[in-house]
Structure 1
Amino acid sequence: MPATHTIPIPVGPPTGTVIKNGVEQQAQLVDRRQGQIYVHYVNYDKRMDEWIPEANFMPSATDPHPSRKRKRSSEDPDEGPSTPEDFSAEETGVERTMVVSEEDYDLEHHKKITAQRNFDKVQFGDWLIRTWYFSPYPLMENEDPDLLANSSNALNGHTHSNPASSAASPAPKVPGRTGTARSHARVLDLFAGGLNRTVVSTLWVCEFCFKYMGDPALYELHKLRCTYTHPPGRKVYQRGAHIIWEVDGAVQKLYCQNVALFGKLFIDVKTLFFDCDNFLFYMMTDATSKKDHVKGFFSKEKLSYDDYNLACIITLPPFQRQGFGMLMIEFSYELCRRAGKVGTPERPLSDLGLRGYLAYWVGTLIRFFRRVLQALPPGYSMMTSKAILPDLRSPSRELEDDGTPSVVNGHGHDSVTPSNGVVRRKKRAKGWDGEVTDLSIFSASDTDAEFLSSCRTYEMRANKNGSATVDVVLRCTLRDIAKATNLRLDDATFALHEIGLLALRLATEDVEELRRTLKAEQDAGSDAIVDNTNKFVFISRTTVERVAKERNVKDVPCMEVEYCID
């Protein structure tokens, strides 16, 4: 017989209003302490939760809390006899309960544990950072070992429906004990010490080895003895001062466990567990002096049956909005591309995670459209030809005897060619100062070439003065675009919908013209699809540039493939 638990019927927390920044906001009361209350702002992420003076909280008159149950009027003789349901538990002395399954009980227990932060701040190197969420750090050296048991018992408040198990007084059930590898970091609540920490509200974490302490004196002593100067793994990407290190969770177990615990302070939708053997951690660092300082990290499964290329990602709050998150996202997709797969991040995505990935998907699509919706190849401002029209599809970059671009094959970008004929590679500055702005290095890849050969056509229209206008036309499906950009079809479709490019339908006359064109191509032996032309959307280069400006899309990615280390 499956185990069950008898628990009090859950009732929502007391609600009220709080004046925050001059605006009245609805809030829920989560916890109390001397003169202060911990509130959660309705419709806001939990990272906005905070302690406020109790006087600033104004209870709601419609609060459904049990203490506000209506009392039966003794002056109404027409109503029937009173029942226990008509009174609150305080009046009857009887607590209303319900029987739940083991899984539901674990979920309810886990919600209570993670309802509020157990640390207010964390000292990480030179930064004192306000934490966002609960993290199951074990008890520290200077904390009461009985705190865990007392806190757990206070949170449980349950009885077992199985008399034998009840008599044995077993330890509280640990949520997530049977989590799978994909649950990345379901934590043993047994280690979730300090559920109601009142003395230690600040955590000290070494920025190099991620060892955690609850005493500033121990932290200062550890800094003098710590031998780490960079993450204990191998370099997989290095460009100037920016380095990405790959750390194997099965080899550096303690380091990866500490990193997972630290990351949980800023990640809510993912939960961690201490068995990190099936994960690789990629630490993003910025080198200064002789040490590499961690700016963020992401983790991914070694083997993902759903082709997830990333499990958790976090850029530390002091270093956000500096491009580190985008660099890590681009690198995760590069890892997936090298493995011959089309990846996607593990769901669910947090609000900040979704914002970052949407920016990556939009940037990838916009840069792709810029490459393919232009008549001349990237880096070419003009092409000339003798006797015949120039070949716009595959222009030659051969040089004449004097080292200048061929007149027949086109004038390209300026090249630095010394007298000895050897092209020198320009020196790059460290960090973002070395970012490449020469778009010619992003010429059509093999994937682009396959896409262009099957989907792109050139239409030349004669002008009255004898000249001609060349238009680039692409006829393709969303699946073709997703394949060419190495994005999942649902991710590419979502991004195009968010930026409004799927709403630009063709006009009726354009649809009819398109139908005739496709019919002619089909009669000529092409595999063009004539049916469902009413489902076509129209994307112009002008629209692409407008979206690029609105979304502030960079001309080039943050990551350069040439700096990846095999």
Structure 2
Amino acid sequence: MTTVHITKNNLSHEAHVLEERAGEIYVHYVGTDKRLDEWVPAAAVTTPPTPASRPGSPARKRRRVSTRAESPIVIELDDDGEIMEDSAAPTPPAPADDAAAAAGPAVDTEEFDIAHHRQITARRNFDKVNFGHWQIKTWYFSPYPLAETEGGEGESVALPEPRIPGVARATGRSHGRTSDLLAGGLGRAHDAGGAGVLWVCDRCFKYMLDGTSWEAHTKRCTRKHPPGRKVYQRGAHTIWEVDGAKEKLYCQNLSLFGKLFIDIKTLFFDCDNFLFYIFTDAEPQRDHVLGFFSKVSYDDYNLACIIVLPPYQRQGYGMLMIEFSYEISRRSGRVGTPERPLSDLGLRSYLAYWVSTLIRFFRRLLTVLPPDLPKIPALDTSAFAPLSATKRRRSAKGWDGESTSPAPGDDTAALATLRRVESAPNADGSATTHVVVRCALADVARATHLRVEDAAFALNECGLLIRRVKSEEDVGEGEGDEGSVGDMVVISREMVEAVAKKRVVKRMCMERARVLL
């Protein structure tokens, strides 16, 4: 793999060359996500000098010597671990009576399959995707099973499960990789003529190779919303549950489209065991998709992958879907957690959810007044408003289309078992009241319906585990026995509010009363 320096915005970036074409190279910037890979002009490339050509710098080579005594083989490696071209040594003759030795070392099929898969998916096979009235730059490789003669008249075809010799068929991991090898866009040229552009219907997710087929399809596509049943509806926002076993073609097309923006997703054609939750926003004639998440129907993970379409990101839609996935687990009596590994964007989103959930819980837990105490109504000043003041008209789309009914609070049963209110009289006749809570981390995780490891990670990341003191009860019991002395983490309301301000913690995006499960 060749390493070069790319001059971009007057800055030099180290990058690996993945592919070359006339006047351009496709590079991956070192230390960044694959979604930032791109084609750059050859004029912006400067190849750094090799270590041997730098003045005063000796050549850095490593030698690996085989253990065969009869004819040692010396292989020289460069800094990247690649075999030097001039380091070829004569290969010792294979024993005539040993057919296996003559054939060479056995190649592990699994390792070869993984290496082949990584080589194929190193770069995007489509530069852009036209989705409705949006043209979106893709992030990752997606194994669309397209050929130049397929998809006639805008129709996509559900292909049978691919078979490649030497690859185990039973494992889902192998199925995901062999599905990748089926992509017809591997050799597609990415030129200015639009060959690197994919056309996808924003109603049924069928895919086409050209705008003419896409336009003909969209004129006769009658789908107004995703198939399946409504499981959440609040104003303009709706979440639909779609069973992958019942709506195979729709879910396959949805998964292929999502793979353009999800790097770690592996399964595309086998959707029978998956449930898809599709988040839509209402329009006068139909609902349009904002994002979706999926989960395996039979395991304890409440989410397998999640994506908010790039035009609708940074608007809180991902947080609403994460909250809904945890609500599914809560109603089924399970502790929710996403499937690993998490992408960098996924980890950031889940950390925000975990921190917000814990902060909202601690706020209610460390409040002296009961959460259901009636408040004194504020003075209605609308009668004193100037005549020229006009009220902004609310839209029927997006968050403006949401209803304004108050969201229910968290479970109060856990609060009653953990809280202890202590009051101390003051000299002026008043009293100072504090809420004291003593519990284990498992109690906090159980009350917030989080996994213990996720709650501990979030508390550590937001800085609420730094104030540690010796437990007085443990010290009293542990006289003469150092092994019984333990640590206790103290979390105050001031610390909670500091984190809430720094992390910009808001109220829940989802309203539990609107869940239709």
Compare 534-543 and 171-180 and name the one that shifted more. Answer: 171-180
1:107: Cα distance to partner?
0.6
Q: Contact 2:408–2:512 (CA<8 Å) still a contact in 1?
A: no
Q: Deviations over 1:27-72 (max 9, x none)?
A: 00000011100000011000000000012121232489xxxx999x
1:136 matched to 2:136: no
485, 508, 514: which one pairs with 2:448?
485
502, 505, 510: which one pairs with 1:559?
510
Residue in 2 aligned with 1:249?
244
Q: Which amino acid aligns with 1:455?
A: L
Residue in 2 aligned with 1:536?
488
Give the length in aligned residue pairs. Answer: 451
For residues 311 and 353 of structure 2, the distance between their equivalents in structure 1, rounded to whole angstroms, comes to 21
Q: Which amino acid aligns with 1:481?
A: V
1:367 matched to 2:330: no
For residues 70 and 366 of structure 1, the distance between their equivalents in structure 2, rounded to whole angstroms, comes to 53
1:433 matched to 2:396: no
1:29 matched to 2:17: yes
What SS does structure 1 have at the residue aligned with 2:463? coil
Q: Which TM-score applies when normalising by structure 2?
A: 0.80
The aligned runs of 1:204-243 (5 Å cut-off) are: 204-243=199-238
Q: Which TM-score applies when normalising by structure 1?
A: 0.73
165, 188, 205: which one pairs with 2:179?
188
What SS does structure 1 have at the residue aligned with 2:288? strand
1:454: Cα distance to partner?
2.9
1:435: Cα distance to partner?
5.9
For residues 183 and 469 of structure 1, the distance between their equivalents in structure 2, rounded to whole angstroms, comes to 64
Gaps of 5+ in 2: 53-58, 62-70, 77-82, 93-103, 152-162, 379-393
1:229: Cα distance to partner?
1.1
What SS does structure 1 have at the residue aligned with 2:468? coil
Residue in 1 aligned with 2:56?
none
What SS does structure 2 have at the residue aligned with 1:236? strand
What SS does structure 1 have at the residue aligned with 2:302? strand
Residue in 2 aligned with 1:353?
346
For residues 94 and 373 of structure 1, the distance between their equivalents in structure 2, rounded to whole angstroms, comes to 76
1:21: Cα distance to partner?
2.3
1:541: Cα distance to partner?
0.7
For residues 482 and 428 of structure 1, the distance between their equivalents in structure 2, rounded to whole angstroms, comes to 38
Residue in 1 aligned with 2:284?
289
What SS does structure 1 have at the residue aligned with 2:223? coil
1:178: Cα distance to partner?
3.3
Q: Deviations over 1:124-164 (max 9, x none)?
A: 001100000000001244579xxxxxxxxxxxxxxxxxxxx
Q: Which amino acid aligns with 2:128?
A: K
Relative to structure 1, is the Cα distance of residues 141 and 233 closer, same or farther in structure 2, using a 3 angstrom cutoff?
A: farther
For residues 201 and 134 of structure 2, the distance between their equivalents in structure 1, rounded to whole angstroms, comes to 11
Q: Contact 1:121–1:201 (CA<8 Å) still a contact in 2?
A: yes
Q: Contact 1:31–1:37 (CA<8 Å) still a contact in 2?
A: yes
1:42 matched to 2:33: no
Q: Deviations over 1:213-239 (max 9, x none)?
A: 011110111110111111111111111
Residue in 1 aligned with 2:120?
113
Q: Contact 1:174–1:189 (CA<8 Å) still a contact in 2?
A: no
Residue in 1 aligned with 2:436?
473
1:494 matched to 2:457: yes
Residue in 1 aligned with 2:467?
504
Q: Percent identity?
A: 56
413, 422, 427: which one pairs with 1:464?
427
For residues 85 and 70 of structure 1, the distance between their equivalents in structure 2, rounded to whole angstroms, comes to 14
Relative to structure 1, is the Cα distance of residues 92 and 340 closer, same or farther in structure 2, using a 3 angstrom cutoff?
A: closer
Q: Deviations over 1:507-537 (max 9, x none)?
A: x6xx54x668x98xxxxxxxxxx99664111
The aligned runs of 1:76-225 (5 Å cut-off) are: 85=75, 88-89=84-85, 99-142=106-149, 173=165, 177-180=169-172, 185-198=176-189, 200-225=195-220
Q: Deviations over 1:295-350 (max 9, x none)?
A: 1000011101xx10011100011100011101110111111111110011000000
Relative to structure 1, is the Cα distance of residues 129 and 111 closer, same or farther in structure 2, using a 3 angstrom cutoff?
A: same
Q: Deviations over 1:448-506 (max 9, x none)?
A: 32x33332111111211121100001101100000000000000010001001011113
Q: Deviations over 1:60-104 (max 9, x none)?
A: 32489xxxx999xxxxxxxxx997746954796989997531111
What SS does structure 2 have at the residue aligned with 1:375? coil
Q: Contact 1:261–1:272 (CA<8 Å) still a contact in 2?
A: no
